[in-house]
Amino acid sequence: MLSIKNLRASINGKEILRGINLEIRPGEVHAIMGPNGTGKSTLASVIAGRDIFEVEEGEIIFRGKNLLEMPVEDRSSEGIFLSFQYPVEIPGVSITNFMRTAVNEQRKYHGLDPMPANEFLAKMEEKKRMLDIHAKLANRSVNEGFSGGEKKKNEIFQMAMLEPALAILDETDSGLDIDALKVVANGVNKLRRPDNAFLVITHYQRLLDYIVPDIVHVLFDGRIVRSGGKELAMELEEKGYEWIKAEA
């Protein structure tokens, strides 16, 4: 599904990713762990297409297409979803309006007619129910005045609405209390299907208790220095990142 080869990326001339290789197949959940400042969020941003990063070398192939040649919105329509670590506030734009625009633009990309309003609203209701999100959220402006937990729930809700092939969760657990964390993790688990995949970026092992990964990667200094099964996460939790640093 996603194939990243020898990806090098920099910001303002400073190299952050120094040759990333990653293969994700449908149905898989991958976790990327690592200390702060090693390039985890950069990787997520580069896949999504944030232009402040300069891709120096390498390729990202997603379902047979070269992502690096596409603008951000096309990557999204192709099925890449990024759950932001710090979702931005968009005053005055209701979530309903925002999602409807997104859904219909993506449909347009695929040559489909806009979704009829009643169908769209029914879908919103269904997803809200599925994720235990209170109805009021939908009429508020995007992320404006949301608590940390509400922002993250809203990200998961959008993910449910857009039904991406690959969802990247960038530190979705940061700033969440245990209850909000469970809501978020439950949402992700409900959305898992054989034909989609998840890339979960996290600093702590905690989230992985609820979203169980198939493969865990350790990112350090811009490279994946170690990959393994879910037990690797436990090992990291016990030994800390110093262990990896020492090895690297």
Partner 1 sequence: MENDPNNILDEVTKGEYKYGFYTDIEMETAPKGLSEDTIRFISAKKNEPGWLLEFRLNAYRKWLGMTEPTWAHLHHPPINYQDIIYYAAPKKKKELASLDEVDPELIETFNKLGISLEEQKRLTGVAVDAVIDSVSVKTTFSETLEKQGIIFCSFSEAVQKVPDLVKQYLGTVVPSDDNYFAALNSAVFSDGSFCYIPKGVRCPIELSTYFRINAANTGQFERTLIIGDEGSYVSYMEGCTAPMRDENQLHAAIVEIIALKDAEVKYSTVQNWYPGNKQGEGGIYNFVTKRGICKGNNSKISWTQVETGSAITWKYPSVVLMGDNTVGEFYSVAVTNNYQQADTGSKMIHLGRNSKSTIISKGISAGHSSNSYRGLVKMTKRALNSRNFSQCDSLLLGDKCGAHTFPYIKTENQSSIVEHEATTSKISDDQLFYCNQRGISTESAIGLIVNGYAREVLKQLPMEFAVEAQKLLAISLEGSVG
- Tokens at 210, concatenated: 């609820």
154 vs 202, which CB is nearer to partner 1? 154
Find the binder of partner 1 among 158, 172, 202, 205 (CB under 8 A).
158
Distance between CA atoms of 149 and 180, rounded to whole angstroms?
A: 6
Establish if 135 lies at the interface with partner 1 (CB under 8 A): no
Find the binder of partner 1 among 53, 59, 120, 137 (CB under 8 A).
120
Long-range contacts (CB closer than 8 Å, 24 or more residues apart) made by 109-116: 109/73, 109/74, 109/77, 110/77
Establish if 196 lies at the interface with partner 1 (CB under 8 A): no
29 forms beta bridges with 198
Distance between CA atoms of 155 and 151, rounded to whole angstroms?
A: 6
117 vs 248, which CB is nearer to partner 1? 117
Establish if 198 lies at the interface with partner 1 (CB under 8 A): no
Find the binder of partner 1 among 96, 174, 186, 227 (CB under 8 A).
96
198 forms beta bridges with 29, 167
Distance between CA atoms of 192 and 211, rounded to whole angstroms?
A: 10
Residues that bind partner 1 (CB under 8 A): 48-50, 52, 71-73, 75-77, 80-82, 84, 87-88, 90-94, 96-102, 104-106, 108-109, 114, 117-118, 120-121, 139, 141-142, 158, 162
